Amino acid sequence: MRLHHIKAHAFHAPRLGEVQEFTDVLISLDETGTIVAVTEGADHPDALVLPAGQILIPGFVDLHVHAPQYPQLGSALDLPLEDWLQHYTFPLEARYADLDFARTVYDTLIADMLALGTTSALHFATIHVPATNLLAEICLSRGQRAVIGKVAMDDPDACPDFYRDASATDAIDGTRAVIDHIHAIAGKDGLVAPAITPRFIPSCTDECLHGLGKLAAETGVRVQSHISESDWQHGFVRARTGRSDAESFAHYGLLREYSVFAHGTHLSASDMELLRDHGAGVAHCAASNAYFAGAVFPLRRALDIGLNTGLGTDISGGPNPSIFEAARMTVAASRIRARGVDADIAADARGTAEPAIDMATAFHLATRGGAQALGLPVGAFEVGMKFDAMAIDTLRAEGTIRPFGATGLRLLEKVLHTASRPNIVVVWTDGVQRVGS
Amino acid sequence: MRLHHIKAHAFHAPRLGEVQEFTDVLISLDETGTIVAVTEGADHPDALVLPAGQILIPGFVDLHVHAPQYPQLGSALDLPLEDWLQHYTFPLEARYADLDFARTVYDTLIADMLALGTTSALHFATIHVPATNLLAEICLSRGQRAVIGKVAMDDPDACPDFYRDASATDAIDGTRAVIDHIHAIAGKDGLVAPAITPRFIPSCTDECLHGLGKLAAETGVRVQSHISESDWQHGFVRARTGRSDAESFAHYGLLREYSVFAHGTHLSASDMELLRDHGAGVAHCAASNAYFAGAVFPLRRALDIGLNTGLGTDISGGPNPSIFEAARMTVAASRIRARGVDADIAADARGTAEPAIDMATAFHLATRGGAQALGLPVGAFEVGMKFDAMAIDTLRAEGTIRPFGATGLRLLEKVLHTASRPNIVVVWTDGVQRVGS
């Protein structure tokens, strides 16, 4: 069902620090789902009118998803990163040589993400070209806006025999094959787009990384990877290359506009500037950082220097698939970072004392912030953007929001803190309804 | 509907560090809902048999709820504690002079808590005797096991004119009136019990605190309050009394067996021992501590010395009413406390380096741990305990658990990390079904 006009009580956060409420807005779309008018107080005879108690917000952007890891979501999170990868994650990802298995998982995941209001996602797939192509097809048919990469990982010293690219050439050729397939099925500016996806520097040879850098320059597609995620990873890269992760990605030609790097807990100030100056961004994964990163990402510092940042669930390094949960954990982790953890230390020396991130800022990061990092024309209700949005029923008994008459920003905060899946009643991408009856 | 026999795939955590799985257990109850037999592999012709894909776990115990604050849940959390109390919380609580308002809120809250699997709760009400009595009646009729207190707060230097007990005598007499009412409607060991509830030391005069201590000795009922929650509160009490919060409560005769004190982020090692030695416990409120406490509660330290501890949502200092969410935040906050927040500091000096709390431990705290702190005979499937439990449908499409064949502890972790309200299909207390069709 294609939408042409909708009237709603709506909220969006088009710019950092700015939440805007429309109490009664008419949003009009063209035949491609692009917003052509946003007019407070206007009417249209054919408009879909959201009932009282429902609010409209932009769909969420999840900047870091390992789609194949969905089967192990919420389990086995007590191990160090390296053990978790070798003993749980790589054996699971290896199973995506089986396309039937891949279809079952990916179809469930994309349906669930859309039902949770995640209209855009940046996906790591696996090393397998056919299963990665299949993920792209499923996103296209279910209507999730997605940027998807075949994972490249070819270093025999770091990757197990049962799960790695046979060579740098294989990793690069496979990446190119997925790029070509996605361009063939979705067009060059379609709902689904490819990403060059070195897993992280420790899993790739220099030959592979240089080759992927050349491919990025040649094709102009986005890059995604992990960056400075843990003490182990951060130290490993510096020992091997003599450079930080950020400097290394720049060296390989992989630090590019609208490229997104996950975690970044250990990025230095100059690393952050390097990312910003190349137009790259960070996927902030507050939940998974609590499990694997060993520190809280300096989000305030990133925002203060103008580094593009959005939120990631990091399925399954993070235990929950909802960007609502990611936003909640972002706010809590930011407060803990600012105030510190140990009351045995004096209050003024306990934390970093940066101003903490509030829920309104997390809302921006979950919507327009993430979209901006990927260069996607979504995340706010503005003319020229695609209409990706969700209707939230704040009154549904089976849901978990209890407004008790709250209005304005207080109502939005309640929604962001307490909404759950039953509250999300309709989801659209490109102006087409993807979830809802 | 009273249950007599149930067959199920069940998990419980009867002791710290011990999760037990029953793959096919028969649990039998007497006419009062007390468990009389727990037999793996047994059958009974009249047993309710949970369908495949459903698991049975003990109901959750929420050790810290401000029932009257439910209308502001998830909003206005960016203020310091003292401002938040004066400008939002006290004006809201003052409205419970109106019994119609109280009925609407309390009825919604108790229904929602039960639907989220919270079968037992320790409630702060307001200063009003009639509304506190009403809360007890609603818990009794809806079937939530509850310990409930009229809030005592009489210090004119700390409490606003529009919301405080008129005198210490009023605070004490009102507390006694609620105790008498609850004993009259629920009996002495009924589903609902009273608690002596000084809000916190800064809001009460010495006369009030001494009087409440005498009342506790006379009646033997439980005590609840806040303890060492923030730098401000912790410092205020020390300046006024020359003692820590814990020492002060002991001095007033308020540190007693099965009494529960919320937060405790700033408790010293000797404070913790004092609580333990008096048989008192702590309500760990991980989410609200991120907002107001300015530190993470040293949970590992508390457990290591054998201090009774359970989880609290701290509605509405915490933004979410679900103990599932409280358990998730407990694990994340514990990991952040252990590992630290700031990657600019060397890894070995960054956090407290205590072993972090895992989800299995959080499960114990959410169930038997909380029950033990209150001295309630619930929280595990053992002979002699009351049957308070929930059935979780791990396969429900509208829910958010995706087992993908996980079994044992991995399945339980998935449930605890990803369950949401639609997954909770039946809830019992005292063997009587309270939620479900």
Residue range A291-334, pLDDT digits in tens = 999 999 999 999 999 999 999 999 999 999 999 999 999 999 99
Q: Which residues of B touch A70 (CB under 8 A)?
A: 402, 404
CA–CA min distance A1, chain B (Å): 22
- Using the 3D structure, point to which of A374, A408, A427 is the last residue of a domain: A374
d(CA A299, CA A415): 23
Residues within 8 A of A (CB atoms), B 276-295 only: 287, 290-291, 294-295
**Residue B36 belongs to domain with CATH number:** 2.30.40.10
Could you tell me which chain A residue has the CA closest to the CA of B402?
A71
Q: Is B76's Cβ below 8 Å from some Cβ in A?
A: yes
User: Which one of B319, B331, B413 has the shortest CB-CB distance to A417?
Assistant: B319
User: Which one of B70, B71, B418 has the shortest CB-CB distance to A319?
Assistant: B418
pLDDT of A81 > 90? The answer is: no
- The backbone torsions φ and ψ at residue A220, rounded to the nearest 5 degrees and listed phi first, read 75, 10
Could you tell me which chain B residue has the CA closest to the CA of A264?
B343
Q: Say what the pLDDT of residue A121 is.
A: 98
**Contact between chains at A414 and B321 (C-beta distance less than 8 A):** no
Handedness of CA A314, A319, A320, A323 (dihedral sign): negative
- Using the 3D structure, point to which of A374, A395, A412 is the last residue of a domain: A374
Joined together, the tokens standing for residue B416 give 């605890």
What average pLDDT does this structure show over B230-236? 89
CA–CA min distance B404, chain A (Å): 5
Please give the angle made by the CA atoms of A424, A112 and A293, to the nearest 5 degrees. 105
Q: How many distinct structural domains can be found in chain B?
A: 2
Q: Which residues of B touch A361 (CB under 8 A)?
A: none
**Contact between chains at B336 and A400 (C-beta distance less than 8 A):** no
What average pLDDT does this structure show over A412-429? 98
Q: Is A361's Cβ below 8 Å from some Cβ in B?
A: no
User: Pick from B241, B235, B296, B237: which is nearest to B263 by CA?
Assistant: B296
What average pLDDT does this structure show over A266-284? 98
Let me know whether A109 and A44 are in one domain: no
Let me know whether A391 and A427 are in one domain: yes
User: Is the pTM of the predicted complex or chain greater than 0.90?
Assistant: yes
Let me know whether B15 and B133 are in one domain: no
Joined together, the tokens standing for residue B347 give 């890894």
**Residue A140 belongs to domain with CATH number:** 3.20.20.140
Write the CA distances from A117 to A111, A312, A429, integer angstroms: 10, 13, 10
- Using the 3D structure, point to which of A374, A395, A425 is the last residue of a domain: A374
Q: Say what the pLDDT of residue A82 is.
A: 83
d(CA B304, CA B16): 10
Residues within 8 A of B (CB atoms), A 161-220 only: none
Which of B322, B323, B325, B341 to probe by mutation at the A interface, max A CB count within 10 Å? B341
Joined together, the tokens standing for residue B129 give 């005797």
Let me know whether A132 and A263 are in one domain: yes
Q: Do residues A146 and A192 make contact, with C-beta atoms less than 8 angstroms apart?
A: yes
Q: Please write the tens of the pLDDT for every residue from A86-117.
A: 999 999 999 999 999 999 999 999 999 999 99
Let me know whether B33 and B140 are in one domain: no
Let me know whether A214 and A313 are in one domain: yes
pLDDT of B83 > 90? The answer is: no
- Strands of A116-167 (E only): list them: 118-124, 145-149, 151-152
Q: Is A342's Cβ below 8 Å from some Cβ in B?
A: yes
Which residue segment(s) compose the domain that B40 sits in? 5-58+379-435
Q: Please write the tens of the pLDDT for every residue from A181-234.
A: 999 999 988 999 999 999 999 999 999 999 999 999 999 999 999 999 989 888
Let me know whether B394 and B367 are in one domain: no
Q: Which residues of A touch B420 (CB under 8 A)?
A: 400, 420-421
DSSP assignment of B21-61: EEEEEEEEE-TTSBEEEEEET---TT-EEPPTTEEEEEPEE
User: Which one of B78, B339, B402 has the shortest CB-CB distance to A295?
Assistant: B339
Let me know whether A352 and A397 are in one domain: no
pLDDT of A76 > 90? The answer is: no
Q: Please write the tens of the pLDDT for every residue from B343-397.
A: 999 999 999 999 999 999 999 999 999 999 999 999 999 999 999 999 999 999 9
Joined together, the tokens standing for residue B267 give 């408790």
Residues within 8 A of B (CB atoms), A 221-250 only: 231, 234
Let me know whether A322 and A418 are in one domain: no
Cis, peptide link before residue B316, omega less than 30° from 0? yes
